[in-house]
Chains A and B, each alone.
Chain A
């Protein structure tokens, strides 16, 4: 069966829901943890009147506690917790994760430095000698120092200037050491930390938080994808050539109606064949067929994409996801919808169109450099027409076909009252988001999906 043509989503599909209250609640909980940590520090810190060493030590303890807490929050943000994925969306979670990450590492480095200096001052030795004493004589400090080293290396690797020179696979593998480093740093807190030693309640709560963070990570990033792969027996059924450098991969399985998935979402895919197992790659779902089969549409110019052409029917698939809040459910009641895509960014919009109701009259702006890059053009056309909407195809270089505020206002009258969905390369998405801001579209009605695990930010170009 051809994936082309209008396809309807299965009626009984499990859909993610909009639950902003839940997100507020979780944000408050994260804040409560932070407040509790700081209060515990205030109660257990050394008195600040005891000279510079005491002040340093107090600062070191605060930096250590805050750093560790932020690290655990960052871990939870990246743990693919389903309720966060379907309400906030992975790209925004990762943007916060990356921003927090910088402060986390800074705090931890400050902690190590200040502890060494403080004890060196108290013992009246040099910092290096003191560092040696700390790592050799105090329980779990050596693993913690090694862990901090790993985290700093992984952190530098995530700095965009470094990261853009790296292959995605290299970065992904390097970033795994972050978890190892953090795990190594945990025991010394309990064994030596003034906030925890002799405070069984604080210890128990802290260990519970650590367990929660690592537990979520294992459960949702390893357990759940594996369970789903086995339960739904996902496998490749077809590879369809869309254009000379774009292919679609069709994935089928059993009991697909039990998979909570919405048009516009994406997943991290692994195909159990040589070169495609490690690591996973994020691709948007470009269609959910009536029988529950999933389709991804991928540009094959990258290393990974090229390998996808070699996929054969029957190859097992492990899917991490689906993720993303770029769905029709993010739409506010009754708002007209405008969808803006560039190039391959049309893929989530294609599956999102499926989920829009028949009379929603969506406006679709599809930009591409060349006519043949307007992939899935026929399907988009059919879907938009079936919903009484308008499709604009903007072909040409971005200088000749800019999507700025004048253009948006001119093509979409009354756009400030619309729900706006934007998908494309980070630079494009950032430009459209800036235009939307200037047009006065409220932020909660603007939804963006950039393909990379990068914050949407024009100064930070993506890798591909």
Chain B
């Protein structure tokens, strides 16, 4: 009985310590901390079209398609292609995403769509990287910026 109390008490303390550690860690180092196994494994060509939110006032983008530069990230190369219709970015295709790591498919299913949505909403590469996909996300945005520059 006493031992069960010891084990469960310990478990509570251990869990609290880890949660506290995570709560405190961003306060000290928010910027370049890759939060999660970050990676992405899109089989090349996986596309994601999305209804563009027609945010007015920003664009000056020429219509057409542009492929951004290939950006080497910690986890592998990242490259995106964008399509602009009527001055609005309507589609982003991930031409290349790293896929060496086990979480590639998870990131592909979860984080890349989020990032894509943020970019389409903001109509710019100036968005926050999705937590958990820091390296891939930075590469993604860099390649995207290159593509945007081509169409400006």
Contact = CB atoms under 8 A, between A and B. Distances in A.
A414 interface: no
Contacts of B108: 122
B7 A54 contact: no
B35 A198 contact: yes
Given A43-B18, A122-B108, A35 B101 contact: no
B136 to A, nearest CB: 11
A197 B10 contact: no
Contacts of B19: 39, 42-43
B106 A138 contact: no
B49 to A, nearest CB: 18
Interface residues of B, number: 35
B101 A138 contact: yes
B15 A39 contact: yes
Given A31-B14, A138-B101, A122 B9 contact: no
A43 B20 CA distance: 11
Contact of A194 (B13, B22, B36): B36
A53 B107 CA distance: 12
Contact of B101 (A39, A119, A197): A197
Contacts of A28: 6-7, 9-10, 13
A136 interface: no
A69 to B, nearest CB: 11
A193 B10 CA distance: 24
Given A138-B102, A197-B37, A122 B109 contact: yes
Contacts of A192: 37, 101-103
Interface string A133-177: 010011101000000000000000000000000000000000000
A308 B12 CA distance: 51
B10 A47 contact: no
Interface string B1-41: 01100111111111111110110000000000111111000
Interface residues of A, number: 43
Contacts of B102: 134, 138-139, 141, 188, 191-193
A123 interface: yes
Identify whether the interface residues of B are mostly helix, strand, loop, or mixed. Answer: helix
A38 interface: yes
Given A24-B3, A44-B36, A197-B37, A31 B8 contact: yes
Interface string A38-72: 11101110110010011001000000000000000
A122 B102 CA distance: 12
A11 interface: no
A139 B100 CA distance: 8
Interface string B98-129: 01111101101110000000000000000000
A139 B104 CA distance: 12
Contacts of A37: 14
A134 B36 CA distance: 19
B18 to A, nearest CB: 4
A320 B100 CA distance: 45
Nearest to B38: A198
A194 B6 CA distance: 29
B103 A123 contact: no
A79 B55 CA distance: 65
A201 B21 contact: yes
A183 interface: no
A33 interface: yes
Given A39-B19, A50-B109, A119-B105, A27 B10 contact: yes
A36 B11 CA distance: 7
B109 to A, nearest CB: 5
A179 interface: no
A197 B133 CA distance: 11
Nearest to A201: B21
Nearest to A140: B102
Given A39-B19, A192-B101, A198 B36 contact: yes
A54 B35 CA distance: 18
A36 B14 contact: yes
A36 B110 contact: no
4 A-B pairs with the lowest CB-CB distances in the bound complex, closest first: A31-B10, A35-B14, A32-B14, A197-B37
